[in-house]
Amino acid sequence: MGVKRYGLLPMALMMLLMGTLWAKSQPVPLPGASNDSGELTPTATQAHPSARPWATHPVASGAGPANAAQGLQVKSASTVKQGEVLKVTLQHATGLQLGTNDYAYATLAGRKARLFSQPDGQLLALLPVSVYEKPGVYPLSIYNAAGVPVKTTDITIQDGRYKTQNVSVSKGTAGLQPLPGELEAIQALKDTVSPVRYWEEPFVSPTVDCQNSPFGVKRYHNGVSTGDYHKGVDLRSPAGRPIRATAAGVVKIATMYRLHGGTVGLDHGQGIGSVYIHMSKLAVKPGETVKKGQTIGYVGSTGFASGPHLHWGLYASGLPVNPNQWVANVPRCN
Ligand SMILES: [Zn+2]
């Protein structure tokens, strides 16, 4: 596959980094929704989604109690790919947040995302789509804080066309075990949904180097399927390269772990988080606020890695998502 240097992750780590633990992403029963237990269909087609402007289209009122949200305008793209995020914006949402729950929310394909107030007065929900979601048409539904559906429309989930990738795994690193609390800390970061928004688009790639393993590829180890996929991107960066925060946020993790190696985890607010692993050296401490582009550490090959590189993962509302949807430039290694 032309990939020579990137992290080789044992199953325990892959289960975590690759987002096998779906349970915290608040599945909700919806007509036509599928679950995540389906198998991926291998495809030889090369297609790596890149950042693009969000097309918008008006969403019609549903057949439900639309009077509860008169004048409400909902905007989103009409399509979203597996592994990407559907951004849903609501205007004139007065009263939507008042109810028996703490917040209004949106649902798509069994996922639920809170609607957060934005500085311009609009509401925004980030709905992640699993790599495992079956392509097709699904209802996007908006619920007020009383749990009453006020709008619905159809969204088409498209095939992400993720390839397969074989990784040669040596026996030498296979015995690495996580430190106590290591896996739990990263799981907690993934599940974090905090109210203050720090992030702004576009995000920046954490290093200036090219990507040699994209998000979403189905991973094989020594020719045997792992049954899982790559839940971030690998950047072919030399040891010592400064690693930049992809967006502004708060440092939740800054620890030299055993399995992940030097790790920084950032909470960017309103359901967006990012993780950076295998660092040689950390440059931030937990609780610190960082700016977009600020150096948070340096590239290394610590933990379960076969050589210097950076694994960069992005989470949205509890699911690993394709970071390349959020950055303007996505250099790929030849
Ligand atoms: Zn990786």
Question: How far is the centre of ligand 1, averaged over its atoms, from the C-alpha of 215 (Å)?
Answer: 8
Q: Which domains are delineated in the chain? A: 11-21+162-325 (2.70.70.10), 50-158 (2.60.40.10)
Question: How far is the centre of ligand 1, averaged over its atoms, from the C-alpha of 171 (Å)?
Answer: 18
What is the phi-psi region of residue 25: left when phi exceeds 0, alpha when psi lies from -120 to 50, beta otherwise? alpha
Query: How much is the pLDDT for 20?
Result: 30
For residue 80, which amino acid is it?
Answer: V
Report how far apart, in Å, the C-alpha atoms of 196 and of each of 76, 270, 296, 320 are. Answer: 22, 6, 21, 20
Question: How far is the centre of ligand 1, averaged over its atoms, from the C-alpha of 192 (Å)?
Answer: 21
- What single-letter DSSP state applies at residue 159? P
**pLDDT tens digits along 217-276:** 998 888 888 888 999 999 999 999 999 999 999 999 999 999 999 999 999 999 999 999
User: Does 119 score more than 60 pLDDT?
Assistant: yes
Question: How far is the centre of ligand 1, averaged over its atoms, from the C-alpha of 22 (Å)?
Answer: 19
Taking alpha carbons only, the member of 306, 216, 232 closest to residue 274 is 232
Question: How far is the centre of ligand 1, averaged over its atoms, from the C-alpha of 63 (Å)?
Answer: 44
How many C-alpha atoms does 32 have within 13 Å on its Cβ side?
Answer: 14
Question: How far is the centre of ligand 1, averaged over its atoms, from the C-alpha of 186 (Å)?
Answer: 15
Question: How far is the centre of ligand 1, averaged over its atoms, from the C-alpha of 243 (Å)?
Answer: 15
**pLDDT tens digits along 25-66:** 333 333 322 222 222 222 323 333 333 333 334 444 443 444
Buried b (16+ CB within 10 A) or exposed e, 8-32: bbbeebbbbbbbbebeebbbeebee
Kindly report which listed range (4-8, 89-93, 165-169, 266-270) carries the lowest average pLDDT score: 4-8
Question: How far is the centre of ligand 1, averaged over its atoms, from the C-alpha of 59 (Å)?
Answer: 37
Question: How far is the centre of ligand 1, averaged over its atoms, from the C-alpha of 304 (Å)?
Answer: 10
Question: How far is the centre of ligand 1, averaged over its atoms, from the C-alpha of 137 (Å)?
Answer: 31
Query: How much is the pLDDT for 174?
Result: 64
Question: How far is the centre of ligand 1, averaged over its atoms, from the C-alpha of 75 (Å)?
Answer: 33
Question: How far is the centre of ligand 1, averaged over its atoms, from the C-alpha of 279 (Å)?
Answer: 13
Model-wide pTM > 0.85: no
Question: How far is the centre of ligand 1, averaged over its atoms, from the C-alpha of 138 (Å)?
Answer: 30
**pLDDT tens digits along 68-109:** 466 788 999 999 999 999 999 998 777 787 776 678 999 999
pLDDT band at 177 (very low <50, low <70, confident <90, very high): confident
